Amino acid sequence: MQPLTSTTYRDETWDFRSADTKQYTHGFHPYPAMMIPQIARRILEEFGQGAQQLFDPYCGTGTSLVEANLKGVDAIGTDINPLARLIAKVKTTVIPLEVIDQHIKDFNDFVFSIRWDRARPTPVIPRFKNIDYWFKEDTQYQLAVLKEYIEGIAHEDVRDFFSVAFSETVREVSLTRNGEFKLYRKTPRQIETFFPDAWAVMAKKLVRNRRGMAEYIRAKAPAAVARIYDFNTVYGIPQDVLGAESVDIIITSPPYGDSRTTVAYGQFSRLSNQWLGFEKLNEVDKKCMGGKRDKEIKTFDFPPLDAVLARIAALDPKRVHDVVAFYADYEASIHHVAGVVRQGGIVAYVVGNRRVKGIEIPTDKVTSEFFARCGFTHLKTVIRAIPNKRMPKRNSPSNVVGQTDTTMNREYIVILRKEG
C-alpha cells in the first residue's frame, strides 16, 4: 500500500490480478470497460453491511446488480444501451436449469436436422445498412435462421437467454477484427480464409452460459431481486422507481468520457442491436454523457477541472467542447443520483482519469467535488491498476486519425458518504 494522501492511496490488493472475473453469470457476454465483480464484491463487504437497496446509475451489463443479489441485496440498474440492459436482465434472472436444458436440447436437435437437410429453413434476412460489408452471405443465412428460431421461443426469459448468446455469436462471426471495440473490418487475407459456423458458435455460448447460470443459482440469495430500467440519470430519476433517500449504497463505474472519442459503447453494440431489432441503435453514443456538445465553454468553479479545460481549449478550441459537454452531463447526473441516497448511505464510483490532447483530467477529484456539493463527505480514494479490464489499449485523445495515446491503466475507487 502506497499512500499519496491520508485518504487517497495506491493499494495493490484491489488489483485482483489473478482473480476469475467470469464467475457466475459475469462471463455471459463481453462489453467495453466492464467493472470486474471483485471490486463490487469488496465494496459491498466493506461498506454494504445491512444494505437493502443498491442502485447502479450506469449499470452496463449488470456487474454490481449480480453481486448485490449474491449478497441478498435488492438492486436497481439503468442504462441507455438496449443490449446492455438485455444482458443485465439475463444475468440477474434465475431460470430453472431443467428448462434451459430442455431448450438447449431442442436447439441442438433443430441444428442437427438442418445440417442433414431434413428441414432447410428459408428465413428472412434483415436488410440493415452495410450487412454485406460485415457478414458473408452464408453467415447471414445462418444468423437469420438463429434469429427466427429464437423469436419462436415462447418462454420470455429463455428467449432472452438465447438472445444474449446470439448477440455474442453475431460479433464473433462478423468480419470485425477480434479484440476491437470499434468496428474495424478484417483484412482481405483474413476474410478470404474466414468461414465461421454460427450454429456451432451459438451452441458453445449456450453451454457456457448454462454453466454460469448454475453457479449463480447455487450462490444467489433466493429473495434478492434486480430490476433494470432505461432512464438517463442526466435528466432525472423517476420517483416511482426510486424515491428520495431510498438507496443504501451505489456501486457503479460511469463512462470515462464521451463515447465518440473514449469507449464507443454504441459502436461496439451496433451489429448485435441491428440483428436483435433494437430501434434507434445509432443513437446510443449520442445519448451517452457528452453526446451533445455545448455551444459555449462552461466553467465548473472547480480549479482542478477548469484549469485542465483551459489547457485543452488552448490546444484545440473545438475538442474542448466535447469535454465540457461530458462533465456538464456528469455533474447533472451526480446531482440526481445524490438525491436518492439516504443519509449515511454510501456512494462508490469507479472512475478513470482519461487523457485529452495528452492532458490528464482528474475525474476522481471531480467526482468527489460534485458529490461534496450535494452533501457528501469523501471517505477515501483507492487507486488500482487495471490488469484485467476490457479496455482498448490505445485511443485517439487528440481526435486526429493516426495519432494515438495510451488509455487509462489505473482506476480510482472513490468512496463517499451522505451526511445529514
CB 142 within 8 A of CB 166: no
Residue 334 is predicted with a pLDDT of: 98
Q: What is the pTM assigned to this prediction?
A: 0.92
Ordered strands of the 2-3 beta sheet: 2-3, 8-10, 376-385, 410-418, 341-351, 247-252, 53-56, 74-78, 226-229
- Tell whether domain 16-94+220-418 is in CATH 3.40.50.10800: no
Is residue 151 scored above 90 in pLDDT?
yes
Is residue 397 scored above 60 in pLDDT?
no
CB 90 within 8 A of CB 164: yes
Continuous H helices in 14-125? 37-47, 63-70, 82-91, 97-115
Residue 395 is predicted with a pLDDT of: 47
For cell 449504497, the residue is 249
End-to-end alpha carbon distance in the chain: 32
Instruction: Give the whole-number percent of the chain exceeding pLDDT 90.
Output: 77
The CA distance from 145 to 285, in Å, is: 30
The CA distance from 258 to 325, in Å, is: 8
Residue 358 is predicted with a pLDDT of: 93
Domain boundaries, the chain: 16-94+220-418, 97-218
pLDDT tens digits along 80-105:
999 999 999 999 999 999 999 999 99
Residue 291 is predicted with a pLDDT of: 66
Residue 289 is predicted with a pLDDT of: 76
**Over residues 259-285, mean pLDDT:** 74
For the record, the C-alpha cell of 250 comes out as: 451505489
Residue 75 is predicted with a pLDDT of: 98
Please name which of 70, 25, 21, 23 lies closest in space to residue 45, comparing C-alpha atoms: 70
pLDDT band, residue 179 (cuts 50/70/90)? confident
CB 238 within 8 A of CB 246: no
Please name which of 99, 164, 102, 212 lies closest in space to residue 110, comparing C-alpha atoms: 102
Residue 372 vs residues 30, 193, 330: alpha-carbon distances, Å = 34, 56, 14
CB 397 within 8 A of CB 357: yes
**Over residues 339-357, mean pLDDT:** 96
Backbone angles phi, psi at 381, to 5 degrees: -125, 120
pLDDT band, residue 388 (cuts 50/70/90)? low
Is residue 262 scored above 80 in pLDDT?
no
